[in-house]
Structure 1
Amino acid sequence: MVRKLIELALRNRLIVLLLAAAMFAYGIFSIRKNPIDAIPDLSENQVIVFTEWMGRSPQVIEDQVTYPLVSNLQGIPNVRNIRGSSMFGMSFIYVIFDDDVDTYWARTRVLERLNFAQRLLPQGVTPTLGPDGTGVGHIYWYHLDAPKMDLGEQRALQDWYIKFALQTVPGVAEVASFGGFEKQYQLVIDPVKLQYYNISMMDVMNKVQANNNDVGGRKFEMSGMAYIIRGLGYIRSLEDVENLALGNYKGVPVRVRDVGTVQMGGDLRLGIFDMDGEGEVVGGIVVMRYNENANKVIEAVKEKMAEVQKGLPEGVTFKTSYDRSTLIQEAIASVKATLIEEIIAVSLIVLLFLFHWRSALIILIQLPISVAAGFILLEMFGISSNIMSLTGIALAIGVVVDDGIVMVENAYRHVNEAQEQKISGQLKDSV
């Protein structure tokens, strides 16, 4: 069988060369199309459901949020397992699907069940889906270098400007902010004054919430002109909160400032983000979507950051905390260096021992075609180019080189022996 295959290839050299060229061209196309990442994605095919109910204990979260959601998420097609985790004020549910299930189909089915399960949860509690990324989707971290801004201002800049701009980059699932203080109006209530004015804490919460709102009116026509009437009631300063009316005491309005004080502060933090022991910083984590090319996404994020940089306040710049593209480029460079080294070594060995440049050319053609065939298989089976696969290709190059040298030397020896027998036979005939 092998003999016939070799004879067929020798009789149709042009077709073999065309097939080899086509394979090499398709391999180049597969290299450009195949996702490139630093580490293989071995995470499970999962959908995360996150629910927040601040101020509640883990047991209450487990009984009133986690258990109803887990019970109603049972029965979704192609679900392998459902895991629930309850903690102070938060609930996490991990719905594990089979590996061959499409991620966005799975998210749609989970969302359908959540719409039904919403009625079983306490009022005001809304479950949300986590980002469509994987456990290894954190591809780029950055922080702000803003010596003239405090941590609260930096966090506001990150949350309301930078984050929204970077989330528009194709392939980005989420930009998670970290560090700093989230600004908020804080009401420090005096319980003695509440008791004196006969006002409950719930009254304070409801009144403040109701007064922080714009209201719309009807259309008003005058002198042939139509005017839209609306009431502007959103809070703009501390004084607006202090002047909110909570009730009346003996005909006198009781305002927020009468029962407590209002201040601008930061939300409760469970930790800080320190950079190299030099102090706190504010920044973000770029999370990549499923099956995206990490290298291209990082390049697009950097281009977008260059555009965003133009709109930042004076003295504010981006600093890179973690960049996976560096590791990706090093892995690619390692494969390229290995391929070049093997090509040079093989050429020298073949030329040194055989003194036949055509034999060396055969192996030089064989190496890139073999690597291209490897990337074709990676693309066909949906495997990304990462450290593991690229290392395997680098190791396989050595095997291909050894095989090529043995085969070429063997073919060269047989051809040489055949030529010697032919020459000796011609000499005998001439004698």
Structure 2
Amino acid sequence: MFKKFIDRPVLSTVISIIILILGVLGIITLPVSQYPEIAPPTVQVSASYQGANADVVMSSVVVPLEEQINGVEDMTYMTSSAGNDGSATITINFKLGTNPDLAAVNVQNRVARATSLLPAEVTRAGVITAKRQASNVLIFSLYSDDPAYDQKFLQNYAEINIIPQIKRVTGVGDVSAFGQSIYTMRLWLKPDVMAAYGLVPSDVNAALADQNIEAAPGQIGEQAAESFQYTLKYTGRLKDESQFGDIIIRTGTNGEILKLKDIARIEMGAQSYASSISFNGKPGLGFMVNQTAGSNAKEVIEGALNAVKAAELDFPSGVKYDVLTNVNDFLDASIEKVLHTLVEAFILVFIVVFIFLQDFKSTLIPAISVPVAIVGTFFFLSLFGFTINLLTLFALVLAIGIVVDDAIVVVEAVHSKLDQGYKSAKKATVDAMDEITGAIISITLVMAAVFVPVSFISGSSGVFFKQFGLTLAIAIILSAVNALTLSPALCALLLKPHKDDHHEKKGFMKRFYAAFNTSFETMTRKYKGSVYFLTKRKWMAGLGLLAFVVALVWAMNTTPKGFVPNEDLGSIMSDISLPPGTSQERTNEVITKIDSIVATVPEVRLTLKVIGRAMISGSGSSYGMVIARLKPWDERKRDVKTIIGELFAKTANIKEAKIIFFAPPTIQGFGTGGGFEFQLQDKTGGTIQDFSNISNQFLAALNQRPEIQYA
């Protein structure tokens, strides 16, 4: 059956060229990522109840929403949080493989049911439902060297000129700022004056609702047999302090008019003063970019950065941006390392094959077969919906040593026939293939059978094994195709009958081959001797096997276990929390001190200080964080784990705050940091104070364990 590929080498060559072309097309179209997409889809529901504390937000906003959302299709669990700034956030997690678009629609339908149960202020502000992952693929800062551009200006400039462009990038789930400094008309009411006039805040709200509106006055002169027809125009919503100041609050019987400016101080301010942000000591603002489930992180980051670079051309003088966290930095470095390893592995295989076959033409046959199998694998990765990631590339690195075996078997079989005296390489190839075709097919099936079953493992870890195992199986199958088509054709074309070379002049390579063969034969004899020795003393072989089994069990029980290794992504996050009720000014003092300590570390290049919001603790005047961008890997000798240890040591004397430093998560979509996270649930119906005490006791006990760095 396979003789036609030897008789028609052009057919064999065309098959391999087609495989190569398809593989190149796969490389061009395949997305690049650090790891396969294993994070389950999440949908976030957010709302705001201005002026309400956390208890009110929880009871009037979060609880009604949770009751309606609970049980939505394919949901696994949900978490919620409420802040004293009036914010409410509910995160719904879904089963792996759930369509994120459908999940968002289902959640939105459930939220619509709860609309009538929410306070009017919440409904008026809107309840937002968005699909997004929990981790941030990109954090960048906008800052100004000119003090005239403060945090309010930077956020409003970004809301108009930067954020809309980033949101249009495919795969971006959300773009949010560390703060709410959007321009807002602030009315600072004067309680003594209002009391003198017998006014309450609801009177001001009623006046605003009545006079600060968009209206459609209509037209005059229509169908009235007049010469002119006019469209009436109303002032609409008020825009500056003077217009708001002229709002009429009350009129007297004698024509007296009480205006808003008489009972309040009016200024253009920020929507919230609950946060304060600086970048390397300058006015700044931080922005987080989240991706949607199923999107490609590399493409999301590149698209977002391109949008920022395009907007940078129109930045006001003195306004700049810099990147604090970029997952692509580590991804690019990792992919580059793996590609170098791939090339090095191919070179090493080529050298080893050349040393053993001791003929350049014979070495060329497996050297040609390996790229065909490796490159062709990318086409099938594209068909299966895989990505070019560390696991698939690692599988290809291992595959180089496996796929070369089939070609070597073919070459060795043909050489064996030529050693027997065959004068025609084609005849030797035909007879050799008649003998080894069944062996090649059986070897391929056995090897594929080892790796294919792991693709049936379910869950997040199953995605890892699936892409790794199927990549290897595909490469092995393609190597068998090469061994049955291209390799025999090349043997028939390139190999020559063996000649008697006893009288040829022995050069350096001939002497090297002779020395290598002598050494290898000596090693083979010693190996045979050791095998013969063990066959006479079988108890020693059994004892050695038992020792290896015991060592394996011991190593499996003592070796640290984890999902994936913690990686140095080039940045450090922190979560800083002070006692509840701490003022923003006091929090600023403590975090400024921590920020200055972080800046003293030689490996730190940039820092972003945020007051009023923390990565883990949430929002509030007693919370904050410092994000540090490290220097590139080739410019520092210490890794992120060592630097974090130094930061813990340097901040240990700050007793008034709980300070946690951590690296960003290696796998996107699994929380805000490395390690693991868990949720405590109170089923006793007790008070929040009792629950807080119990959770603090649990965390204290957890921190005493030697394997826990922090909790």
Tell me, yes or no, if structure 1 residue 57 matches structure 2 residue 53. Answer: yes
Task: Tell me how far 1:187 sits from its aligned partner.
Answer: 1.9
- Equivalent position of 1:429 in the other structure: none
What is the TM-score when the length of structure 2 is the normalising length?
0.53
Distance change (3 Å), C-alpha of 1:142 and 1:150: closer
- Equivalent position of 2:267 in the other structure: 263
Distance change (3 Å), C-alpha of 1:330 and 1:133: same
Distance change (3 Å), C-alpha of 1:369 and 1:334: farther
- Equivalent position of 2:181 in the other structure: 181
Per-residue CA distance 1:136-168 (angstroms, 9 max, x = gap): 452453424452522222221111222223323
- Equivalent position of 1:85 in the other structure: 81
Aligned positions of 1:118-129 closer than 5 A: 118-126=115-123, 128-129=127-128
Q: In structure 2, what residue type is equivalent to 1:234?
A: R
SS of 1:217's equivalent? coil
CA contact 1:41–1:136 (8 Å) conserved in 2:
no
- Equivalent position of 2:250 in the other structure: 247
Tell me, yes or no, if structure 1 residue 171 matches structure 2 residue 174. Answer: no
Distance change (3 Å), C-alpha of 1:383 and 1:171: same
Per-residue CA distance 1:48-106 (angstroms, 9 max, x = gap): 21122123233333332222222222343333334443443233223333323211111
Per-residue CA distance 1:324-349 (angstroms, 9 max, x = gap): 33333223322321222223333333
Structure 2: distance between partners of 1:140 and 1:40: 22
Distance change (3 Å), C-alpha of 1:404 and 1:215: closer
Structure 1: distance between partners of 2:286 and 2:66: 34
Structure 1: distance between partners of 2:107 and 2:12: 52
Task: Tell me how far 1:215 sits from its aligned partner.
Answer: 2.5
Task: Tell me how far 1:202 sits from its aligned partner.
Answer: 0.7
Tell me, yes or no, if structure 1 residue 23 matches structure 2 residue 19. Answer: yes
Structure 1: distance between partners of 2:375 and 2:273: 51
Q: In structure 1, what residue type is equivalent to 2:114?
A: A
Tell me, yes or no, if structure 1 residue 403 matches structure 2 residue 381. Answer: no
- Equivalent position of 1:207 in the other structure: 207
Tell me, yes or no, if structure 1 residue 113 matches structure 2 residue 89. Answer: no
Q: In structure 2, what residue type is equivalent to 1:295?
A: K
Distance change (3 Å), C-alpha of 1:28 and 1:206: farther
Q: In structure 2, what residue type is equivalent to 1:191?
A: P
Distance change (3 Å), C-alpha of 1:180 and 1:78: closer
Aligned positions of 1:34-73 closer than 5 A: 34-73=30-69
Structure 2: distance between partners of 1:388 and 1:270: 44
CA contact 2:245–2:261 (8 Å) conserved in 1:
yes
The one of 298, 320, 324 equivalent to 1:295 is 298
SS of 1:176's equivalent? strand
Distance change (3 Å), C-alpha of 1:406 and 1:384: closer
- Equivalent position of 2:241 in the other structure: 238
SS of 2:91's equivalent? strand
CA contact 2:37–2:294 (8 Å) conserved in 1:
no
SS of 1:231's equivalent? coil
CA contact 2:137–2:301 (8 Å) conserved in 1:
no
Structure 2: distance between partners of 1:340 and 1:383: 22
Distance change (3 Å), C-alpha of 1:67 and 1:334: same
CA contact 2:24–2:376 (8 Å) conserved in 1:
no
SS of 1:351's equivalent? helix
Structure 2: distance between partners of 1:319 and 1:281: 10
CA contact 2:142–2:322 (8 Å) conserved in 1:
yes
Structure 2: distance between partners of 1:385 and 1:269: 45
Task: Tell me how far 1:285 sits from its aligned partner.
Answer: 2.8
Distance change (3 Å), C-alpha of 1:386 and 1:272: farther
Structure 1: distance between partners of 2:163 and 2:59: 35
Structure 2: distance between partners of 1:75 and 1:180: 33
CA contact 1:146–1:154 (8 Å) conserved in 2:
no
Distance change (3 Å), C-alpha of 1:117 and 1:18: farther
SS of 1:115's equivalent? helix
- Between 1:48-57 and 1:315-324, the stretch displaced more is 315-324
Per-residue CA distance 1:249-276 (angstroms, 9 max, x = gap): 564211122223223333334444443x
- Equivalent position of 1:224 in the other structure: 227
In structure 1, stretches of 5+ residues that fail to align are: 427-431
SS of 2:218's equivalent? strand
The one of 313, 320, 325 equivalent to 1:322 is 325
CA contact 1:156–1:183 (8 Å) conserved in 2:
yes
Q: Which has the higher contact order (CA 8 A, sep 6+)?
A: 1
Q: In structure 2, what residue type is equivalent to 1:331?
A: S
Task: Tell me how far 1:411 sits from its aligned partner.
Answer: 4.2
Structure 2: distance between partners of 1:342 and 1:332: 15
Structure 2: distance between partners of 1:400 and 1:198: 84
- Equivalent position of 1:282 in the other structure: 285
Q: In structure 2, what residue type is equivalent to 1:322?
A: T
SS of 1:236's equivalent? coil
SS of 2:38's equivalent? coil
CA contact 2:298–2:328 (8 Å) conserved in 1:
yes
- Equivalent position of 1:363 in the other structure: 366
CA contact 1:216–1:231 (8 Å) conserved in 2:
yes
CA contact 2:81–2:90 (8 Å) conserved in 1:
yes
CA contact 2:44–2:89 (8 Å) conserved in 1:
yes
Q: In structure 2, what residue type is equivalent to 1:417?
A: S
In structure 2, stretches of 5+ residues that fail to align are: 424-496, 498-711
Distance change (3 Å), C-alpha of 1:368 and 1:188: same
- Equivalent position of 1:346 in the other structure: 349
CA contact 1:295–1:325 (8 Å) conserved in 2:
yes
Tell me, yes or no, if structure 1 residue 100 matches structure 2 residue 97. Answer: yes
Task: Tell me how far 1:201 sits from its aligned partner.
Answer: 1.0
Distance change (3 Å), C-alpha of 1:357 and 1:143: farther
Distance change (3 Å), C-alpha of 1:234 and 1:54: closer
What is the TM-score when the length of structure 1 is the normalising length?
0.83
SS of 1:141's equivalent? strand
CA contact 2:42–2:131 (8 Å) conserved in 1:
no
- Equivalent position of 1:74 in the other structure: 70
CA contact 1:179–1:281 (8 Å) conserved in 2:
no
- Equivalent position of 2:382 in the other structure: 379
Tell me, yes or no, if structure 1 residue 421 matches structure 2 residue 455. Answer: no
Q: What RMSD, in angstroms, separates the aligned Cα atoms of the two structures?
A: 3.2
CA contact 1:152–1:183 (8 Å) conserved in 2:
yes
Task: Tell me how far 1:10 sits from its aligned partner.
Answer: 5.3
Q: In structure 1, what residue type is equivalent to 2:74?
A: N
CA contact 2:150–2:284 (8 Å) conserved in 1:
no
Structure 2: distance between partners of 1:62 and 1:79: 21
How many residue pairs get aligned? The number is 416
Distance change (3 Å), C-alpha of 1:295 and 1:359: farther
CA contact 1:219–1:229 (8 Å) conserved in 2:
yes
